[in-house]
């Protein structure tokens, strides 16, 4: 089978590097273009020595330019760019007939007013929102929509860890939608490459702290997808925490419920028993980040607190993997009619 030529725009960040790792090893993908203003002219192997002697690692970075991507022969481009910047490249690439998987927040939200509320800027391309498919393949009907999409909005890391455990219970009315409380812990790579002192080694090491409360930006897409599942507007409390680890997200969500543990188990198994990358741990089992880092798996466990009448949902994923790069590759596989697991089974 001829390899599919792909581009990574903004390939020098943590997510970009993970995308490169996955695509260089993908049996059906060929990197034809990688961009970075900072490293233009330098080969991948020089910027990322870990890729030295891997086939394709001599490919040089170029300046980010839609026409350059087109000339490379790429039929699909991954955008590993900040929100607000990605949309302009998406517009230009789509106009040239290149499919786009955007890992920023620019196309995750259906309502441009919500984007402006949470991101503080007018949406840069509201005319494309109706075309974008929210790229979480395990959600009902989403896999097929991704298969036929030209523009996929790859979900955020926190939302993936929160939405997947909650959606089956909301869809079946097993929890009170307005009672959801979620706390998540993320490794420092979730902040990306930044000069912000708060994310430096000396500040983050041997310390755990909350941040982004009470209105973290990811709440916008979390509430959007949970509301779709519930068939009504969902408002929830979400508090993220920074932990001294490179990558990984551990999330605990709870909600009032009168369901039995058997009903909760049945809802989750019905939703995910056939999903390649959702691992259901079972009742009274806790998810652990060490089991999911550098994979595309999300592990989910659950418990029923009969004393308080709340169901507890535990999930773990890699924020750079299932929360970003590998989930985007999962969408790539669907868009190109490849096996869903292609290039994503290395543990």
The catalytic residue positions are 157
Distance between CA 347 and CA 343 in Å, rounded? 11
Which residue spans within the chain are E strands per DSSP?
Answer: 4-9, 29-35, 61-62, 76-79, 99-102, 133-134, 151-153, 181-186, 209-210, 237-242, 249-256, 278-283, 298-305, 310-317
Token pair listed for 208:
């755990």
Query: Would you say 51 and 23 are in contact if contact means Cβ atoms under 8 Å apart?
Result: no
DSSP secondary structure string for all residues of 282-322: EET----GGGTTTSS-EEEEEEEETTTTEEEEEEEE-TTTT
Query: Would you say 313 and 327 are in contact if contact means Cβ atoms under 8 Å apart?
Result: no
Helix (H, G, I), strand (E, B) or coil at 232: coil
* N- to C-terminal Cα separation, the chain: 24
Residue 35, phi then psi, degrees to nearest 5 = -125, 145
What is the CA angle 100-102-105, rounded to 5? Answer: 150
CA-closest candidate to residue 6, choices 331, 321, 296: 331
Distance between CA 132 and CA 117 in Å, rounded? 20
CA-closest candidate to residue 102, choices 341, 298, 332: 332
């Amino acid at each position: 089978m001829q390899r599919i030529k792909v581009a990574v725009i903004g390939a020098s960040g943590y997510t970009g590097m993970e995308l490169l790792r996955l695509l260089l090893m993908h049996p059906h993908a060929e990197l034809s273009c990688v961009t970075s203003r900072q490293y233009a002219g330098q080969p991948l192997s020089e910027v990322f020595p870990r890729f030295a002697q891997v086939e394709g690692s001599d490919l040089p970075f170029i300046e980010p330019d839609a026409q350059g991507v087109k000339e490379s022969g790429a039929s699909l481009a991954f955008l590993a760019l900040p929100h607000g910047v990605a949309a302009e490249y998406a517009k230009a690439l789509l106009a040239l007939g290149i499919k786009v998987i955007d890992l920023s927040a620019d196309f995750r939200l259906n309502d441009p007013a919500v984007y402006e509320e949470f991101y503080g800027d007018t949406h840069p391309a509201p005319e494309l929102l109706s075309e974008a498919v929210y790229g979480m393949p395990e959600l009902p009907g989403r896999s097929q929509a991704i298969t036929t999409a030209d523009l996929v909005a790859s979900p955020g890391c926190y939302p993936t860890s929160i939405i997947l455990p909650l959606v089956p219970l909301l869809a079946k009315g097993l929890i009170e939608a307005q009672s959801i409380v979620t706390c998540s812990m993320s490794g420092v790579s979730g902040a990306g490459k930044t000069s912000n002192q708060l994310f430096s080694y000396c500040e983050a090491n041997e310390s755990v702290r909350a941040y982004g409360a009470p209105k973290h930006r990811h709440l916008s897409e979390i509430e959007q997808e949970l509301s779709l599942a519930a068939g009504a507007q969902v408002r929830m409390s979400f508090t993220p925490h920074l932990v001294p680890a490179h990558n990984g997200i551990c999330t605990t969500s709870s909600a009032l419920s009168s369901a039995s543990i058997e009903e909760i188990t049945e809802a989750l198994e019905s939703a995910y028993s056939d999903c390649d990358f959702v691992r259901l741990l079972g009742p009274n089992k806790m998810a652990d980040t060490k089991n999911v880092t550098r994979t595309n798996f999300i592990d989910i466990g659950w418990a029923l607190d009969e004393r308080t009448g709340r169901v507890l949902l535990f999930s773990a994923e890699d924020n750079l993997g299932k929360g970003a790069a590998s989930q985007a590759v999962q969408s790539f596989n669907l868009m190109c009619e490849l096996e869903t697991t292609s290039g994503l089974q290395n543990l």
